[in-house]
Amino acid sequence: MFARLTIAETKIAWIDKFAKIYEESVIPAAKKQKGYCGAYGLVDRKTGKLVSVTLWDCEEDALANEKNRYYQEQLVKVMNILTKPPIREGFEVAVQA
């Protein structure tokens, strides 16, 4: 399994807006992608920090949905509420419980 993390920041007042977009638009779009295994939208209401964690069957599936523009289309949905450019990282899931 492979995890992609996207780390960003927003104004504290916009956290609920992020959560709504993530739940109502980003996750349904992710579910249509090959290899999708799950997603978490994490927020820090004290700092405005946001973390999207999406889980994929393998790294190839995560990379494929970047090539088919899915990933970029999801970022566009929240770009107007971000205060810093997002950072993307990928990790092999070594342990799952």
pLDDT digits (tens, 9 = 90+) for 18-57: 999 999 999 999 999 999 999 999 999 999 999 999 999 9
Q: Is 52 domain-assigned?
A: yes
In angstroms, the CA 75 to CA 21 distance is 11
Distance between CA 4 and CA 32 in Å, rounded? 16
Tens digits of residue pLDDT in 53-94: 999 999 999 999 889 999 999 999 999 999 999 999 999 999
Transcribe 42-63 into DSSP letters: EEETTTTEEEEEEEESSHHHHH
Cβ–Cβ < 8 Å for 18, 41: yes
Q: How many separate domains does the chain show? A: 1
Domain assignment of residue 71, yes or no:
yes
Decide: 38 and 55 in contact? Cβ < 8 Å: yes
Domain with 26 in it: 2-92
Six-digit token string for 6: 């996207």
The domain that holds 39 is classified in CATH as: 3.30.70.100
By C-alpha distance, which of 62, 60, 67 is closest to 89? 62
Give the pLDDT confidence score for residue 21 in this predicted structure: 96
Q: Is 97 within a domain?
A: no
